[in-house]
Amino acid sequence: MAGLGGRTAVVGIGQTEFSKESGRSELQLASEAVRAAIDDAGLAPSDIDGTVTFTQDTNDELALMRSVGMRELRWTSRTPFGGGGASATVEHAAAAVASGAADAVVVYRAFNERSGHRFGQPAGGAAPAFNLYRPFGLDTPAKIYSLWFQRYMHVYGLTNADFGRYSVVARRHAATNPNAWFHGRPITLDDHQASRWIVEPILRLLDCCQESDGGVALVVTSAERARDLRQRVVTIEAATQGHLADGDVMFNYYYDDIARFPEAEYTARQLWETTGLTAADIDVAMIYENFSPVVFYQLEAYGFCGPGEARDFIAEGNIDLDGTIPVNTNGGLLGEAYIHGVNNILEGVRQLRGTAANQVAGAERVLAAAGRSAVVLGNG
């Protein structure tokens, strides 16, 4: 669905607070976020006839339907690939609406990732493929991804302090975002360098995304219908995914050159070819970052800078609020919350509505990139 051409739109967004101890069930978090998104759109629960979430979400569609008050569903789907499927949720929703399979689809993601099942802990009872890697000590996401990042550091001569410059920007943006867990708590590069090692010499604590409790949701319908609803129209200009034969969601070690992100490059190529846009046409980039180096890979994959240039690009201030391409204006997953990247899409909608806490003046197009999926939102 790379060539959606603005036929569908995000008309409602909603969320809970982001915390480390929500004190309520994941179903309640999902229900609160979904009701908020429907209300934000000026719709009723009975207007929703489709849902999309992650394969990893614990919230059953029928339980959510009863909890929220949706009466009839004719479209349900789920996206795999963890955070890499974040923007794919929008692709699924837009595809359903554009094809006539549904009229109004709610995308939701909710979990107690800090107070419940913690993704950052050693994997237990995971897929059998993990057994191939556990003997080498690769049992947590930080260890698994670091083996990939280490090659990038070697090829381009980076140190962990270079990654820290992104973390500082993310926390600076979070510090002025009231929704962020780290609101009012910026960091310096010295703070980053003083944080403990998670995987030496690649990732420190302040390179790692949060573990968060919370829920987020958004509503997608046709652009035509959106014009009669409550909010400023935010169109879905393109949404697509990129998966390659030699790839792996986590153990992505099997390319000839792992100082690159081939899936992100393929996704970018689809977006630019089908829309006629380039990186220069994007005003804000919301980039999924379970770990700070992922931003470096994706800045290069989408053409904001050349291979190996992300270090200097960030150091020169290009991703700051007043830079050439502001990145993760909400603080991202390091600074705001880790709700599997969908909270970044909500921030993209706010930027185009003109209601973001860290508003970028004149924002007309936002890229929400999640490695192997991405969406371009436009100011309809």
122-149 pLDDT tens trace: 866 566 777 888 888 888 999 999 999 9
Domain locations in the chain? 8-117+210-379
Contact yes or no for 264/148 (Cβ under 8 A):
no
| Tokens of residue 144, six digits | 């698994």
Distinct helix (H) and strand (E) counts, the chain? 12, 11
Return the pLDDT at 249.
Answer: 87
Return the pLDDT at 137.
Answer: 86
CA-CA distance, 288 to 109, in Å (whole number)?
15
Closest C-alpha to 8, from 108, 105, 109, 107: 105
Catalytic residue ranges: 288, 338
Contact yes or no for 87/4 (Cβ under 8 A):
no
314-330 pLDDT tens trace: 999 999 999 999 999 99
pTM strictly above 0.75: yes
Domain 8-117+210-379: state its class.
alpha beta
Helix pair 293-301, 160-175: axis angle to 10 deg: 90
Contact yes or no for 146/138 (Cβ under 8 A):
no
69-100 pLDDT tens trace: 999 999 999 999 999 999 999 999 999 999 99
165-219 pLDDT tens trace: 999 999 999 999 999 999 999 999 999 999 999 999 999 999 999 999 999 999 9
Whether 1 has a pLDDT exceeding 60, the answer reads no
Kindly calculate the radius of gyration of the chain based on its CA atoms and give it in whole angstroms: 19
CA-CA distance, 279 to 275, in Å (whole number)?
11
The region, left, alpha or beta by phi > 0 then psi within -120 to 50, assigned to residue 87 is: alpha
